[in-house]
Homo-oligomer: A and B are copies of this chain.
Amino acid sequence: MTYCVGLKLNRGLVFMSDTRTNAGLDNISTYRKMFTWVDEGESMITMMTAGNLATTQSVVSLIDERNKAPTDRHPAILEFHSMFQVAKYVGQTLKEVIAQHGENGERAESYFNATMIVGGQVKGSEPRLFLIYPEGNFIEAGDDTPFLQIGEMKYGRPILVRAFDAGMSFEEAVKLLLVSFDSTIKANLSVGLPLDLQIYERDSFRKGNQRRFRTNDAYFQTISHGWGDALKQAFDTLPNIVL
């Protein structure tokens, strides 16, 4: 399993992903699930992946054009004139990879499915955020649904629903994401640290702040421990029922 969230703020986009992958409970590893492509001054695209690791790695390699010699690579993903075209391209690539894996005579125990969040900005248009399905189609985050989640999304959703505000600062958004991830990590063994963070500031067309939160990260620990106490205090402020 996996947990990834993309937030669409007025100020820009914020992405967070965990790094745990597992094939059964007895075979866990750490893999990066967040990938960023930048053409400075022109476009910035971040992608997060959930699902079959062979599928998602294949998609990333194809987007990176790793089938070409390193000097010949000019990722097509950076040449589109709109984020809609980027989403279509990623969806098409994902669909093709799944179809190819599915064709190989051998039937795997699990499906080759994967889901992705793709967000960013191409010069001349607004920042946009998409969720891409294994069938290659996709939905976009809008004003009514300004965040997208993939993977194990249920535990961490209530706090997003309650506390998200499109006008919040990047600092508050990171805090919100860490609370949401901490709730998920406490409940589901298949989501785990380290966590990757990528911030994109609207109209900057370059990578914003990037950070990896490891188990011993001081700020993550502050949030993880502090949130328990803060929740209990919040709980105590509500009136008791008269039975």
Residues of chain A at the chain B interface (Cβ within 8 Å): 154-159, 161-163, 169-172, 174-176, 179, 183, 186-187, 199, 209, 211, 219, 222-223, 226-228, 230-235, 237-243
Contacts and interface: CB of A to CB of B under 8 A. Distances in A.
A232 B231 CA distance: 10
A239 B224 CA distance: 12
A181 B11 CA distance: 33
**Total identical chains:** 2
Contact of A158 (B155, B237, B241): B155
A182 to B, nearest CB: 9
Contact of A243 (B157, B187, B199, B232): B199
A209 B241 CA distance: 12
A241 B239 CA distance: 32
Nearest to A222: B239
A174 B183 CA distance: 22
Contact of A219 (B162, B211, B241): B241
Which 5 interchain pairs have the tightest Cβ spacing? Answer: A154-B154, A234-B234, A230-B234, A171-B240, A158-B183
Contacts of A199: 243
B223 A238 contact: yes
A161 B184 CA distance: 11
Contacts of A219: 241
Nearest to A176: B235
Contacts of A186: 158, 161
A198 to B, nearest CB: 12
A238 B222 contact: yes
Given A155-B154, A157-B187, A162-B228, A172 B240 contact: yes
A175 B242 CA distance: 11
